[in-house]
Amino acid sequence: MAQTNAQIIFNESLELMNNGILGTTGRKITISYEKNGEQVKEIVNEPEPIHTYAEWKRLGFQVNKGQKAIASFTIWNFAENKKDPEEEEQPSLMKNGHYYMKKASFFKFSQVSAIATA
């Protein structure tokens, strides 16, 4: 079963936090996973959020000049199919595009600044 982007990013965030690259939010969370065929629950520190350049921008932040990504890993990306003018409009999302894995770079909050609004 394929993981969602949220699952991929969360798992990578935990790894980055455990390796001292990423801090925590100060909150505790309960995670659940399967180990040796049994369901395990564990209370862990919540990692601080990380996002791609585009996602930080969408959230109203700009990555500070000169900042390097703290991590790069593959996530799902959606690409629209080129429109064929001869084809009828198809309501299905998958008929209009496809998903593929793409390497993305991630930044943490200390690397961004709020975009000033006029």
Give the three-state DSSP class for 66.
coil
Does the predicted TM-score (pTM) go above 0.85? no
Note the pLDDT of residue 86.
Answer: 59
Q: Count the domains in the chain.
A: 1
Do residues 95 and 84 make contact, with C-beta atoms less than 8 angstroms apart? Answer: no
What's the domain range around 46? 5-114
pLDDT at 81: 83
Tens digit of each residue's pLDDT (9 = 90 or more) over 17-35:
999 999 999 999 999 989 9
**Neighbour-count burial of 26, counting CB atoms closer than 10 A to its CB (0-12 exposed, 13-18 middle, 19+ buried):** exposed
User: Residues 61-95: pLDDT tens digits?
Assistant: 999 999 999 999 999 999 988 776 555 555 554 56
